[in-house]
Structure 1
Amino acid sequence: MMNHGFGMGTGWSLIVFAIVLPTLFLLAGLLIAQLQRAPHTSEPAVSDADRILADRFARGEIDSEDYEYRLRTLHDVRR
C-alpha cells in the first residue's frame, strides 16, 4: 500500500507549493503591474491644436463663433 493508505502522501503538496503557488503569485504580480501602467483617466486626450485654439480663445484673439468654427473644422479633419 502506498504511504500506508494516505493517498499520494507529500506528492500533491510539493506540486502545489513548488509550482502552482509561485505561478499564481507571478501572475498576480504581472496583473498588478499592468493595471498600474494603464491610464487612469477616461477623458479623451486633448491635442496640442485643441489646446492652442483654447488658449487663443482665452486670450481674446478669436471670438466664440470663430473658436467653434475652427474647432469643428479641426475635428472634421481628424475623422
Structure 2
Amino acid sequence: MHDFNFFGGGWMMFFWWFLIIVLVIFAIRAVINSGQSNQSQHKETPMDILKRRYTNGEIDKEEFQRRKQELQK
C-alpha cells in the first residue's frame, strides 16, 4: 500500500505542479517583456532616420538640409 502522507500527500503534489506552472509563466513573461524593452530602446528618432537616409544616399544634401530645418522647428 502507498502512504500518501509522505510530504503532505496529494496536496503537496498539487503544490509542486502549481509552483512549476507559475515559474514557467513568469519565465515566459520575462522573455516577452525583455524583447519589448529592447525594441523601445532602439527606436529611431526622426533626426536619426534623416541622417541614415542621407548617409545611405537616399536623399541629397539640399533635401537633408530642408528636412533638418523642418524637424528643428
The bucket for the TM-score relative to the shorter chain is 0.3 to 0.5
Structure whose alpha-carbon radius of gyration is higher: 1
TM-score (structure 2 length as normaliser):
0.47
Higher relative contact order (CA 8 A, sep 6+): 2
